[in-house]
Structures are given as structure tokens and as C-alpha cells.
Structure 1
Amino acid sequence: MHLIAIDWGTSSLRGALLDGKGHVLEERSHSRGILTVPAGGFPGLFEELFGDWMRLTGSFCLISGMAGSKQGWVEAPYCPCPSGRVEVANAIVEIEPGRIAIVPGLSDVHDGVPDVMRGEEVQIFGAMSLVGLSDGLFVLPGTHSKWVTVKRGRVTGFRTFMTGEFYALLSQHSILAHTLDAQAPLDEVAFLEGVTQADNGQGLLHNAFGVRTLGLFERMPAGELASYLSGLLIGEELRTQSIHGGDLVLIGSPALTQRYQLALEVSGNTARTLGAEATWAGLHALSAIHIANKARS
């Protein structure tokens, strides 16, 4: 058997060809997120990007992410928390029976307001398999960061923070865009200054203005201010969390997990980190359950 594992997001997608044991044979990435696909264009684009993999003997494709949203290929309704691998695998939606299927996301509710994720649930299930955890706190940094609680192998709840999106808005579309250099590399000292400042009790709306005044009075150069702003935002995110020891796992790109590791160390916390391998492991685990279900039915 070959599994074609695909994480299809809003602005990009990535795929991996896995063997029957879940080993990665090849990986691909493309800037063809769901927003670039015209109505009715998903089958043709899928064939163009992954048709050669699908022609291999015993190929099955499982897709996670925004391809299962209302704006995607086929909608896969959210599974409510608490949910684990079995519940999610049982709710997989087939596009072409026995050939292509889509993973549903997860939903949660806080004070009457819904919260959702698509794709991150697969990374969590994969991380659980890779590090051998059935309980813990899983953090997925990104445009919309997720803080996810797992107990006995099931996602019991999560919260989303628009940290990455706020950084993009402030650094590119606010008055701060004229003050900082968003292309500058990470400055760890300035970043940690921002993380510490976020805990001053004055709130993000006040602290963010300090990015402008630090530049105005030449207290910090433009190259460092971007890291300082990043520290403020990530520090604000961490300030709202209750971390009481236990297992903490970061899942994401090295550039992001590095920042969160630095910020967590300020409060004396440490975390294990995982990258793309969590996605492939999660899709492999879900596909095994789905295929077993099909065999029994």
C-alpha cells in the first residue's frame, strides 16, 4: 500500500508519499492553497500535482486541512470535542470511495462561542504517536495558534489565538510598518525583551504602541523592533495560559517553535518540538483506522 498524505491549507499545500509502514518516500510542496483553486478545479489540480503517485499500486489519498472546509473540495463537518483518533477516523468523508478521502476538523465551545481547527488535529494525533503521549498540552504556533489539551488520547478542548495574523497586520498595515524591518532575522535579546514586557499588566494595546516610541527615540533599531513586536505578541499569548508542568509539545516550523521555546523558558517551562513528521504520522494513523473500518463494513 502507498498512502498519499496531503495537508491542503488556505495559501499552500504539501504532500508526502508514504509506504505501508508510514515511512516517507518523497515530499512535495506547492503554493496552491484552496484560495487559488477555481470552482470545480480541485480534481484537475489534484491530478496535476499528485496523479503520478495515485497511479502506484495500492494508492490511497487522505487529505487534511482547509480542503475539507466549505470553501474547499468537499466539506467534512467538524467533530465536537472531546474526540480522538477513532472518532475523527469514523467521520472521514470519501471524495472517491476507496481512493481519495478528507479528514474532518474539530470544534470546541467557550462561553457560548465556537472555536474550530482543521489540520492541527492530524498533527496532534501524529505527535501523540511519535512521542508516545496520551496526555499533555500541545501547542501549534502559526497564523492562528492553537493550545490543545489531550487526555487519555482524546482532544478534550482547545483555544485559538490570532497571534501570527496580528503580527502580520501590525507589522505590515499599521503605523508600526514605518518603524520596524519585518524582514530582519530574529534578534533573541529584543524578542525576550518583548516577551517580558508583555507581562507588565498594561495590555497589548498599550505595549504595542511602545514599538513606535522605542524607534522614535532611537532606543531600538528597526531590525530589532520586529523581534520585539513578535515577543510582545507571543508573550501576550503565553500570559493567558495555565501551564502547570506536565508534558508540553510544540508542533510547527522550526522558525516558530524556536520563538515559543525561548518564550516558554522565561517562565521556566520546556517543551519537545516536532515538525512536518507529525502531519504524516497523523494521516498514516487515521488512514489505518479508516481502511480497517472499510474492511469490516
Structure 2
Amino acid sequence: MAHVHNSLGDYEKAEDYFLKAMALVTDPAKKGGILLGMGLVKERQGSPDGALPFLQKALALYKESSLTEDGSSLIAKAHMSVGQCLEGMGDKAAATSHIRSAVRIFRKTVGGDSPLTANALGILGRMLLDQNERQEAEPVILQALELEVAKDAFHPDTVWKLLNSLKELWTEGQAQHQLSELRTHCSRYVRPMRMARDRIVSHQPSDGEGKYEQGTIAVIYKTAGELFMLAGEYDEAVRFLQEAVLFLQEIKDFDCRSLIASCHTSLHFLAGQLSHAATADA
């Protein structure tokens, strides 16, 4: 009942049921789940300070009940909860340390290609990028993207966030990048971007009313098109950006004019580059 009330947003009742359950349960795994649930209630109530002790107790309990400190995916899940709570409190270094531990334990317990590992890698990459640890963040985000586009349950919003993080790595901040560097790194994104498009198209019937939300698909195509451009794959960049424009033009409940204008600016640049290349080849 506690989890039901928590999911319904009735946090006072959820907290009451969790506290009653905690007094009755002795099994470490079940008690750890109750503690994590209590922590989630406190976070949703806007009290990360109140949530953290419950989450830390859950982590300690899972460690105590395991033969080793990395012997269970439950320990990794608790690290994830503690890490994200600490991030919300502004302690980025401690948060990142917990997420690193979660990634390591997930790889050991559920495998490197598990959705749990993919999610943890995505969060770790985002945290590293937020701390301007760009060199370390880039391969982590790329690995998360590769796992996300390959797993059974395809989540476009997650894919877009990862693509956008990769774009931010090369287009924001003070660092200046050589064209050769951009192409070398961004060419590694080509395969997962193509896989993402294949996943989208496989659920997009001819009438255009596909399984996925149009706005998310539009920004996936736009961001991927811009990354194809950075990779020097100009023909493919044009195709993705043109598809982005088509999707954006169909959206009626949001003003997409600036996004469409951005696509047209990129397409104008690409037209010039392709024309120049054709002239040079002639």
C-alpha cells in the first residue's frame, strides 16, 4: 500500500505505511526496499536532507547483508538513489562517486549491456559533463547511447538527452576544437544515430502517427543532423535535418519557428559545403 500511495502522490499516507512496515519487517532486502521507499517519499516532498539518511541506511543494510560490498544489484540501486539525492543537495563530487560505484556493480552483477547499466552510465555522463569533466564524460555518454539504442525498450527522450549531451561537448564551453578532431570523435556517433533512426522508423506507420511523441523525434533528428554535420557526413546530415523540419512543421501545440529556422541555417551551410565539394570534384 505504501508504494501505491507513493505513486499516487499521497505522500503522507505512503510515509505512514512505510513506517508501519519498517516496524514489522526483519528481512534485510525487504527492509532496504522500505528505506529506499521512505527516501523517495521525502525527496518527492522536497526534502532531500530528510531523504538522505533513509537512503544511506538502505545502502548500509544491503552491504551488510551481502557477502561483498559489490555482490548485489540492490547495492548498486541504493548507490544510485544516494548519488542522485546528493546531486540534488549540491554535493556533486560525492554524488558522482556513488554513481561510479553503481556502474561498476551493475556491470558485475547484471552485465555491461543491461538497461540498468545503460541508465547508470547516462547519469554518470551527465554528472561529469555538469562538472566540466568533458574528456571523461564523452566515452561514458557514448557508451550509454550505444546501449540505449540497442536495448529492447527504446526510450526516445533518453536518446535525445544523450545526443544533446554529446553535441554540448563539442559546441559549448571555452575549448576550441580542430575540424579533424571533431570528425574523428563525432564519426563514432554515426552508427548509434543510424540505429536510433531505424528504431523510430520501425514504429512510424505511413500515416505519420507513430508510437513516439513527434516533438521528441523531431529534436532527435535535429540533434543527430547537427552531429552528422560535425562528423563531416554532410549528405546524411541533410537527410536528418530535412526530416526534423517535416516533424517540427506538424507540431501545433508549440512554437517551433526557432527550431525550424536553426535547421534551415544548418541546411544552408550544408548546401554550400556540398556545392563546393561538387565543384572541387568536377
Query: Normalised by the size of structure 1, how large is the TM-score?
Result: 0.27
The structure that is strand-richer by fraction is 1
Greater share of helix residues, 1 or 2? 2
Say which structure, 1 or 2, has more relative contact order (CA 8 Å, 6+ apart). Answer: 1
What's the TM-score, normalizing by structure 2? 0.28
Greater Rg over alpha carbons, structure:
2
